[in-house]
Structure 1
Amino acid sequence: MDLKEIQSLIKFVAKSGASEVKLETDDVKITIKTGSEDKKGETTTYVQQIPVNQALPTQPVAPQAPAATENAPAQGQPSEEDSKYITIKSPIIGTYYRRPAPDKPNFVEVGDTIAKGDVLCIIEAMKLFNEIEAEVSGKIVKVLADDSSPVEFDQPLFLVDPS
């Protein structure tokens, strides 16, 4: 193959839109890559940005969330007769604790009068203990979650009579 044949082959490949052509003869081996390969490189780079979607490991956690939500009715969802009460709900997902330590008394019991800002319980999330404070003043009517049990976001924890 002479130089003119190689040049015409390069022009032909460029016009054809092919990104890569390999040609082998007895004495010559030619590989021609066009600029469209660079575009593929960009696409590959874009596809490699899928680690942004590594939120996919969080999606397997989502099927576990409904399972815990199914347990919520067993723990006591507020009924229609409780509609006159204010429901204090969990602001986060975690483990619900009624007392500050195993050897300490519960933060609140049924019948206790609470003021806005009083600590009602602790929810542990990722080794952080979050104190859950009362949003309203009133009287604890019902505790809806079991001690040391997992709770979901927006799961009812307490019923409070604001009167």
Structure 2
Amino acid sequence: MVEEHGATVVVGVDGSPAARLAVAWAVQFAGGAGATVHAVAVCGVVPASPFLTVPTPREEVDLVAEQHHDMIAEALRQADPQSHGVAVRTSVIHGEPGRALCALSAGASALVVGSHGRGAVLTALLGSVSAYCVRHAKCPVFVIPPDAVESVDEVTGRAAADAG
């Protein structure tokens, strides 16, 4: 989403190696573009609705949200946005990942997501967040492929070595 002070790069964070690389890539991209990063984890555990017969306990929702915040913090620690001069904000939201990321990225400079590379059968059964985003986002979408994951240690290791 575009903010008053400039452009934003939205990046999806799910704890996977591809998502960690997506965060590192988004930070570098935002640094070069003078943009901020909005790191977002989408939590599938949805707070209780008055229409559900068996609501999710509030403690479980809070625990899962806290785990998602920790996941974002770890990915950002590895990406080291401070060394790139990039401002970051974070969000944990509840809902379906593809729809939520597309909604949050409306008006953004870019949306960055990692790909798990499950293959056609599992993607057909489980769906694909990256494929959904490519089809429905209203901004450019960068998908970090699973083969690029091997370089996540290079990208984040280099940043850690420069900082240390």
TM surpasses 0.5: no
Greater share of strand: 1
TM-score by length of 2: 0.23
In our comparison, the structure showing a higher alpha carbon Rg is 1
Greater share of helix: 2
Higher RCO by CA contacts (8 Å cutoff, separation 6 or greater): 2
